[in-house]
Amino acid sequence: MKFECDRLKLTEAVLNVQRAVSVKSTTPALEGILVKAAGRVITLYGYDLDICINTSLEADIKEDGEAVIPAKLFSEILRRMPENKILIDVNEKNIVYLKSGNADYKIIGMPASDYPELPLIKNSDTIQIDGETLSSMIRQTIYAVSDKDTKPAHKGSLFEIKDKTIRIVSVDGYRLALRTEKIDYDGEKEFIVPGKSLLEVSKLINENTNIVEMIASDRHIIFKIENYSVITRLIEAEFMNYRASIPKVCTTEIRINTDSIIKTVERMSLLLTDKMKSPIRCYIDNDTIRTSCETPLGKATDQINAKIQGEPVEIGFNNNFLLDAFRHTESDEVMLKMTGALNPMTITPTEGDSFLFLLLPMRLSR
């Protein structure tokens, strides 16, 4: 294999693909990037057996071929080469020669035959969604994906596609994040995508991404983002019946400025650490929310105005869960709905139903 290409474009491609490369693996080839050269295109693959990221770019191919190049060393060399052009030559013994300007490297590669078989997606419908919309949906729900829960389904987000509507739902046992948008697709699909994979998808979406294509099979899904493809294994588990956890009625309804409540919770959080956990206590009545927090470090109180309808309530919440939810609303004002001190609180937009966040309260001691 031998080719010459733009070093900067190759460096960007390697850095993106490298995110799917195993840092440590019992299969050495998984710590490398599979490079294939054919025709006028080189294709790069990173794969850790759960997620695969691949991309292609134009190159002056002098000799077709394929090889595995150690990912970390490959990216470091590319970043430090002196010229904009780079020549890469791999011989029959998988010795990789890299040349740019006066700089030369000779490193040890691996045969492409050592690389595990890449996942294949059987023919399936293509679902198209606006890139900015998908990015927003992932961003507003990913915070509620669990990284500790023993339930496999909680480590991913549920995609529900039905009636020309796409819904993404994340839960972790203490909170729920739900995001809904209209979509031009007539079919019905339901699958769970690992949170780790969704983070990689969101990183590849930028302001130039018009359309993202999703192709889902029984076990895998492909996200096609411009000239990148992210192939990930789906989570084969039963997602919780999240609809049953959403309250059908409320006794207290609050319209509140999002920035004000965030700053209030941040002030209360100054007394809280991982070792000093205590609920933020909220007294809700007479268009006022009075907050307080007490730990061995001291006590803090604050007060903000809000439009409140219904019964007064005293309720407590985890400060980090409150901040996560309010920061991800991406709205100036939100509606809070609750039914007493022991039932979940929901956070929704003041108009429409584009998102719904749910938080379980903490039991207050008297």
Every domain of the chain and the residues it spans: 2-114, 126-242, 246-359
Residue 317 has pLDDT above 90, yes or no: yes
Model pLDDT, residue 208: 85
Contact assessment for residue 124 and residue 213, using Cβ atoms and an 8 Å cutoff: no
Fold of 126-242: DNA Polymerase III; Chain A, domain 2 (3.10.150)
Q: 246-359 belongs to which CATH class?
A: alpha beta
Model pLDDT, residue 366: 67
Backbone φ, ψ for residue 315 (5° rounding): -145, 155
Write the pLDDT tens digit of every residue in 148-182.
767 899 999 999 999 999 999 999 989 999 999 99
Question: Bridge-partner residues for 180, per DSSP?
Answer: 167
The strand pair at 252-257 and 65-70 is best described as unpaired
In angstroms, what CA-CA distances link 353 with 247, 329, 346?
A: 15, 12, 12
Model pLDDT, residue 149: 65
**pLDDT grade for 24, boundaries at 50, 70 and 90:** confident
Contact assessment for residue 179 and residue 353, using Cβ atoms and an 8 Å cutoff: no
Contact assessment for residue 168 and residue 201, using Cβ atoms and an 8 Å cutoff: no
Q: Angle at Cα 313 formed by Cα 309 and Cα 316, nearest 5°?
A: 125
Q: Mean of the pLDDT values across residues 200-219?
A: 93
| CATH H-level, domain 2-114: superfamily | DNA Polymerase III, subunit A, domain 2 (3.10.150.10)
- The gap from C-alpha 5 to its chain's centroid, in whole angstroms, comes to 31
CA dist 193 and 198 (Å) reads 7
Residue 53 has pLDDT above 80, yes or no: yes
CA torsion angle 116 236 199 8 (round to 10): 20
